[in-house]
Amino acid sequence: MPEMKTIRIAVIEGDGIGPELIAQVEKIISALNIRSNSKIELTKFPYGADYYLKTKITLPDEFVDQISKNFDAILLGPLGDPRIPDMKHAKEIIFTLRNRLNLILNIHPVKLYRSWLSTIKDIEMKSIDILIIKENLESLLGVAENNLNIGKETEMVIQTNIYSRRNSQQFIKTALEFVKKKGRDKIWFSDRSAILPQSHLFWRSLIKNVIADYPDMQISYVVFNSLIKDILEDPDEFGVVLLPGNIGDILSVLATAITGGYGLAYSIEINPDIIGVYRIMQSASTKYAGHNTANPLCAVLALKNILEDLKLNMEADLLDRAVQNNFDNHWITMDLGGILGTEEVCDYLCNFISKESI
């Protein structure tokens, strides 16, 4: 039998509760390595608020230059610190990784693990398992902006959306290839056609051209306001939703709220040809750091997705069953209605992993 490849994950712990969350990921990886003879390695890097305040460096060039050569994935902890009010370090870390690694897809997996987690009434007969895929390099993230006549009655701010044919077409192709590999073939595309008619026509023409090369895939168009209403009323109708980034974030916030909150939320910013950044979406919550109250499942679920994407299916399945067991027994933190602390939640996960059959 050939020797198992070592899987290397680079970790930026982030600020506030970030190190606590990553400590739980380390425990789980240790349990998986022992249980299934895996070779998963974490390498932690210090970049975050403390590092920036000491060095005035957010993310060294050499780190970005070498990351995809030396690692298989990046796990990014929560960023944010009141000592840096403009969040310069957070913005630069996120946007440097995004732009330098050309992370064209921003994927928000939205899954309802138990009906009692949802804010939607009568959810018992429905399921939510949606991939929200947002364009990640342009939209409002790449605006042209100007502030005129600052401080005067005539002051105005001008912001212009940017969509380039080259980037937008590449986004659509990359998204369709990603969806195809996930075994899904029904897609919804949404934008704000009523108030942004030019960009709507632009996107529609590009999709029409690209989808011709994917005859087995079906794309439906839905107005954004209708999409929000339909997801709230009939979420199990949707599987994959493609959107420009400027409205995709709105849908992500809604989906997070109806599936259990930010304690379960993570996103994937990915260039399928290079590497993916698996980002914990829970806030850094610096005032709660060290209190053993943060929900670690956002980090745990991000790890599970890393394992899936790197084809460690046995390990990913084992971890998924451990999470399901925690939900079955209500071994969860206070934000989800439980009574356990951060470490106790992951102790139960590790105990399940150590004893469960593979």
Instruction: Encode pLDDT of 213-244 as tens digits.
Output: 999 999 999 999 899 999 888 888 899 999 98
As a whole number, mean pLDDT of residues 89-99 equals 95
Burial class (CB in 10 A: 0-12, 13-18, 19+), 69: exposed
145 vs 100, 142, 160, CA distance in Å? 22, 9, 6
Predicted pLDDT at 5: 86
Give the residue with greater pLDDT, 291 vs 191: 291
pLDDT of residue 248: 87
- 64-73, 96-105, 151-160, 272-281: which range is least confident on average? 151-160
Q: Would you place residue 125 in the very low, low, confident or very high pLDDT band (cuts 50, 70, 90)? A: low
**pTM, 2 dp:** 0.93
- Average confidence (pLDDT) over 337-343: 97
121 in helix, strand or coil? coil
Percent of the chain with pLDDT over 90: 77
Is 1-101+274-358 CATH 3.40.718.10?
yes
pLDDT at position 14 is 96
Mean pLDDT of 62-77: 96
- The residues with which 307 forms a beta bridge, in sequence order, are none
User: At residue 147, does pLDDT exceed 90?
Assistant: no
Return the amino acid letter for 309.
D
Topology alike, domains 1-101+274-358 and 107-265: yes
Q: Which of 151-165, 176-190, 320-334 ranks highest by mean pLDDT?
A: 320-334
Mean pLDDT of the chain: 92
Taking the domain 107-265, which CATH number applies? 3.40.718.10
What pLDDT does 265 receive? 97
Give the confidence band of 141 by pLDDT, cuts at 50, 70, 90: low
pLDDT at residue 126 above 80? no
| pLDDT band for position 329 (cuts 50, 70, 90) | very high
The domains of the chain are located at: 1-101+274-358, 107-265
The amino acid present at 59, given as its one-letter code, is: L
Position 163 scores a pLDDT of 86
Tell me which amino acid residue 255 is: A
Residue 291 — pLDDT band, cuts 50, 70, 90?
A: very high
d(C-alpha 105, C-alpha 97), whole Å: 13
Q: What is the pLDDT of residue 277?
A: 98
Pseudo-torsion of CA 122, 124, 130, 132, nearest 10°? 30
* pLDDT, position 245: 83
| CA 73 to chain centroid | 13
Range name among 42-56, 134-148, 334-348 with the lowest pLDDT average: 134-148
Q: Where are the alpha helices (DSSP H) in 72-119?
A: 88-100
Distance between CA atoms of residues 315 and 324, nearest Å = 14
**pLDDT confidence of 1, banded at 50, 70, 90?**
very low
φ/ψ bin of 136: left (φ > 0), alpha (ψ from -120 to 50), beta (otherwise): alpha
Query: H-helix or E-strand containing 240?
Result: strand 240-243
As a whole number, mean pLDDT of residues 354-358 equals: 84
Q: What is the mean pLDDT of residues 41-52?
A: 97
At residue 30, does pLDDT exceed 70? yes
| 341 pLDDT tier (thresholds 50, 70, 90) | very high
